[in-house]
Amino acid sequence: MTEFTDIPANDADDEPPEALVLPLDAWHRARGARMVPFAGYEMPVQYEGILAEHGWTRTHAGLFDVSHMGQLYISGFGVEAAIEAVLPIDLSTLKEDAPRYSLLLDENGGILDDLMVTRWSEGFYLVVNGATKWDDIAHLREFLPDDVTINHLEDSALLALQGPEAFTALERVVTGDKPLADLTFMTGAAYKIAGVDAWISRSGYTGEDGFELSVPAESATVIADALCAQAEVKPIGLGARDSLRLEAGLPLYGHDLSPETDPVEADLSFAINKRRRGSGGFPGAERILGALAQGAPRRRVGLELDGRQAAREGASVVVGGQVVGTVTSGGFSPTLERPIAMAYIESGAIGAREVAIEVRGKLLPTRIVNLPFVPHRYHRKGAAK
């Protein structure tokens, strides 16, 4: 599907290029995208406007360029045991072509990154966050043995087609041995899109049904054109991607997740697989297994605010006149037509009836709510096609 850039696991050259350009940079600009710096790239933040693009994705299908993400292929002798030494994942239960969420942890159990892992043939395909990919590669080089090779798929682009009409649009332009309808949430397969090789998984970061497409960078324009030629599809920028993932209650690394947070308090305990809870053997296991057994002193929660004023990252959460937590993501929900936020608050305050967020010296009435704010609409196994 693509040429690999082979990198020995212990290679010392970890510095990213000074300037990075998306394969679709000119394509975005030609469509009137407003470009902003993000993760070392110039990326499209919006085309028509964040509210319009958010609504289009919720009702039709949006095409997101997420080629800033890091795509890695890790292989070699003993690769399965090597990956299990750095991730709290049980690879014995991971079927081929089935992505699974996992976490890169430091020695204290702090989250260095969240990522997706897929078994591909003799190795594993990882998708890591764009803002952390160079640090992730350096970390993996340091802790993976010399017999394991990291292939940075620099010649691949990554696109996401998200929304209730994503399947309808994509099915028209794909061919493959496996019907697209056979893909369910967190499964994937090899296809061709407009005659170009692609690896497609039914996954995404919006809470909607959708697909992520790993494609040759040199053919990204052909594929983007083929998808946007479908009446259901429009290009969507980073702004709507953020508001969609917030409504879906999905954490964003560098905001809701960091080395100062662990998986238990982040409400990501599901990423610590059953066998690993018993055997340990992953970074920070002692702290994390202790938190699983005894409970975390704080937890990531959802908050709904009254009125129209949004709470932003860093705002204090107050109960009974005492600060009990901090907002990590916040904004206005176009779907719910009210401000929403995620925050870490003291576990003892989660049941409080009267909660407020301090914004510009004012205490805004707030409710602690279950996540997600907007129900997920993933196409899970057993659902109607």
Over residues 79-138, the pLDDT tens digits come to: 999 999 999 999 999 999 999 999 999 999 999 999 999 999 899 999 999 999 999 999
CA 329/CA 317 separation, integer angstroms:
12
Structure confidence by residue, pLDDT tens digits, 309-321: 999 999 999 999 9
Phi and psi, residue 67, nearest 5°: -70, -10
pTM above 0.85, yes or no: yes
Right CATH for 5-247 from 3.30.1360.120, 3.40.50.360, 3.40.50.300, 1.10.10.60:
3.30.1360.120
Q: Tell me, rounded to whole angstroms, the distance of Cα 179 from its chain centroid.
A: 26
CB 107 within 8 A of CB 194: no
12-54 per-position pLDDT tens digit: 345 555 668 999 999 999 999 999 999 999 999 999 999 999 9
Tokens 């790993």 sit on residue: 214
Same fold, 5-247 and 269-369: no
Give the DSSP letter string of 269-293.
Answer: GGGS-HHHHHH--STTHHHHHHHHH
Where are the domains positioned within the chain?
Answer: 5-247, 269-369
Cα(118)–Cα(245) distance, integer angstroms: 22
Class assignment of domain 269-369? mainly beta
What distance in Å separates the CA atoms of residue 211 and residue 196, rounded to the nearest whole number? Answer: 16
